[in-house]
Every structure is written in structure tokens, then in C-alpha cells.
Amino acid sequence: MPARSSPTVKRRRLAAELRRYRDAASLTIDEVAERLEWSTAKISRIENARVGVLPRDVKFLLTTYGLSDQDEAWDVLLTLARESRQRGWWQQYGEAVPDWFEVYVGLEAEAATIFGYDAEFVPGILQTEDYAWAVIRAGQTKNDPDTLNRRLAARMARQEILKRPDPPEIWAVLDESVISRPVGGPGIMRAQLENLIELSTKPNTTLTLQVLPFTVGAHPGMNGPFVILDFNSPTDPPMVYLETATDGLYLDEPADVERYNLRFNHLVARALGPDESRTMIAALAERMA
């Protein structure tokens, strides 16, 4: 079972703290790079949580920012550095989880809320195994059964967070095309639709499901799918995730997050309510042979 503690989140937390201490010391990235004889790119990657940081390098940075091993933050940040370099559960699947997607999986594992809009397929965290297999197969240009199987296993493992005592709150707005397209064939699609209904009606469910019907016409989600992740800790700010076929884009600037929150709220307002959405999904499931 995937561990709740994510090295990705710890790396992000460490990056934010190092950036905060640099700002408190009134130093620019260029000035720190000059003092440590590092490249500015290295410091930028550290502060953007794009790379893990050696505890040794954290010591160099903290010393440059005027801290010593007598300061409380010293041991706290060194511990974060060590924990942020631990292997995430997803790394056992190797290249089946690309480097750019590892960041998302790590964030998803500790998210308190996962809000998003999808226009093509059911979100991975809500997919049945057969539906997931069909989606994964359709997205492959090379027939590599081993990679396909490991990718499927990784996707199913992500769903373990739904079984936690404190699962994340999920709010999914799905375009009508998502529930209409018979991915994998009618039988597999029917099972997927029934699974969505079941997940959204379980006692103490944390899934809110809405369908955005074709009849709304133009809408704020037409620029593409997105996910908004938020966390319980105030030291972990919310983040927006956008995905292409070959890369992932992570936005954490407050203005960007606010824009996507506003976009999501508009989609929620225009979509069918949860009960109406389940009625539509059930009707489509009935028509699947």
C-alpha cells in the first residue's frame, strides 16, 4: 500500500523554507551562487523543488543565510532533506511512471482536496482496472506489455489513498463526452459508469461528481483539463496541475491558483448537480450493452 508520507511534498516544503530563509537574509540567487561557487540554475532547481537536496548542501545554504546548528530550524530542515530523498512508493514501477509524473503522484498522495475538470476520460484515481487498461493501451505508440502492465499496476496503486481513514476530498467535473465515449467497449464502460455512481454514493463518501452537459455550449474548461491540489499544512500551498502527452506543468503562484479556482467554480455552477449527474450516468449505463 502506498505510504501516506510523500517525499515529493517534503521536498516542496524544504524548498519553500530555504527560499524563505534566503529572502530573510536579503540575498539574491546570484549572490548565493557566487558565495557558494554554485550555478544559479542549481539553486533555482532546489527552490523550485525540481531536485532533491543533499543534507550537506542544506548546511551550506543555511550557513550562508546566517544560521548555525544551534538554531531550531537547522535539524528540522536537515531531517526534511533526508526524508525528501527517500524513495516514493511509485518508484518501484520504474519508467512506467515518468519523471515528470512522479511529482504529481507524490503530491496526490498527500493532498487533502483534489478538485478537477476532465474532458476526455475518467480521472485515473477513479478508473476501474479494465477501463484503465483500455486508456493506457490507447495512449501507447509502442506495444510493450511489461511497461503497460506496470503502468496499470501503478495507476491502481494510486487508488489506495481512497481507502485511508482520512481520504482526500475529491470533486470531479466531467464533460459529457467522458461518460458517453465507450472506452474499452460497452461492457467495460458500463462497469466504469456504475463504479462512478457507487463511489459517489458510499456512506461518508468524499467524492462529489458532476457532469457538464453538451447543452451548456461554450464554457471555461474549453482550454483543457486541470487538477487543483490542496493540502492540510499551511506550509504546503495549493497547486494546479496541467498535463500533456509528454510532460506535466505545475503552477503554484497564488494568482495562477486563484484563476483556476475561479474557473473550477464556474464549471461547478454550470454543471448538473450531483443527483442529476448520477441520473444521467445511470441512464447512459443502462444503454450500454
Beta-bridged to residue 226, according to DSSP, are 117
Please determine, for residue 140, whether its predicted confidence score (pLDDT) is greater than 80: no
CA 57/CA 220 separation, integer angstroms: 44
For residue 198 the three cell numbers come to 457507487
Mean pLDDT of 141-155: 85
pLDDT at 122: 97
Mean pLDDT of 254-262: 96
What confidence tens digit (pLDDT) does each residue in 50-73 have?
778 899 999 999 999 999 988 888
Helices marked H in the chain:
7-24, 29-36, 40-47, 55-64, 72-84, 99-110, 129-138, 145-158, 176-180, 186-201, 254-270, 274-287
Please determine, for residue 1, whether its predicted confidence score (pLDDT) is greater than 70: no
Please determine, for residue 232, whether its predicted confidence score (pLDDT) is greater than 80: yes
Please determine, for residue 4, whether its predicted confidence score (pLDDT) is greater than 70: no
Lowest mean pLDDT among 80-94, 147-161, 162-176: 80-94
| Confidence class for position 201, pLDDT limits 50, 70, 90 | very high
Q: Say yes or no: do domains 7-84 and 94-287 share a fold.
A: no
Residues in Cβ contact with 149 at an 8 Å cutoff, skipping those fewer than 6 apart: none
What confidence tens digit (pLDDT) does each residue in 176-191 have?
999 999 999 999 999 9
Task: Write the class of the CATH domain 94-287.
Answer: alpha beta
Rounded to 5 degrees, φ, ψ at 116 are: -165, 165
CA 83/CA 104 separation, integer angstroms: 18
Please determine, for residue 84, whether its predicted confidence score (pLDDT) is greater than 70: yes
Pick 7-84's CATH classification: 3.90.1010.10, 1.10.260.40, 3.40.50.300, 3.30.56.10: 1.10.260.40
Segment holding 170, helix H or strand E: strand 169-175
pLDDT at 3: 43
pLDDT at 141: 67
| Confidence class for position 5, pLDDT limits 50, 70, 90 | low
CA 186/CA 204 separation, integer angstroms: 30
DSSP 171: E
Question: What is the pLDDT of the chain when averaged over all its residues?
Answer: 89
DSSP 203: T
- Its pTM stands at 0.81
Please determine, for residue 153, whether its predicted confidence score (pLDDT) is greater than 70: yes
Mean pLDDT of 151-162: 92
Please determine, for residue 100, whether its predicted confidence score (pLDDT) is greater than 80: no
Domains of the chain, residue spans: 7-84, 94-287
